[in-house]
């Protein structure tokens, strides 16, 4: 087996290798990727953001108007879907206002 000092020296060598070589490489690769994490909201959070009731959000989901993700028993709505819905709703209300 290895002594405690040998184990400590190996840990330090691995840490240095990671910080000196791998970390800059990882940062370089991640810097080239254009990605944004998808934020998923609960029905309560979506309702609050839209300014409607949770029942209205449930109706939108049931009608197929609001895209959603179901993970086991949880229903989650992507933040982008809410932004798209608000944009679409505001566009249709403008059309109705015109004479």
Q: For 10-21, how does the pLDDT look when each residue is reduced to its tens digit (9 = 90+)? A: 988 888 877 777
SS3 call for 16 = helix
pTM, 2 dp? 0.55
What pLDDT band is residue 99 in, cutting at 50, 70 and 90?
low
Q: For 37-83, how does the pLDDT look when each residue is reduced to its tens digit (9 = 90+)? A: 668 999 999 999 899 999 999 999 999 999 999 989 999 999 889 98
- For the chain, the domains span 1-35, 40-97
SS3 call for 75 = strand
SS3 call for 47 = helix
Give the number of other CB atoms < 10 A from CB of residue 81. 20
Fold of 40-97: Multidrug-efflux Transporter Regulator; Chain: A; Domain 2 (1.10.1660)
């Amino acid at each position: 087996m290895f002594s405690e000092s040998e184990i400590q020296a190996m840990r330090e060598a691995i840490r240095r290798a990671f910080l000196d070589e791998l970390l800059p490489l990882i940062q370089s690769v991640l810097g080239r990727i254009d990605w944004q994490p998808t934020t998923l909201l609960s029905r309560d959070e979506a309702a609050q953001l839209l300014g409607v009731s949770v029942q209205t959000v449930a109706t939108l989901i049931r009608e197929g108007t609001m895209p959603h993700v179901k993970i086991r028993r949880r229903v989650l709505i992507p933040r982008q879907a809410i932004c798209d819905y608000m944009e679409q709703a505001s566009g249709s209300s403008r059309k109705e206002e015109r004479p």
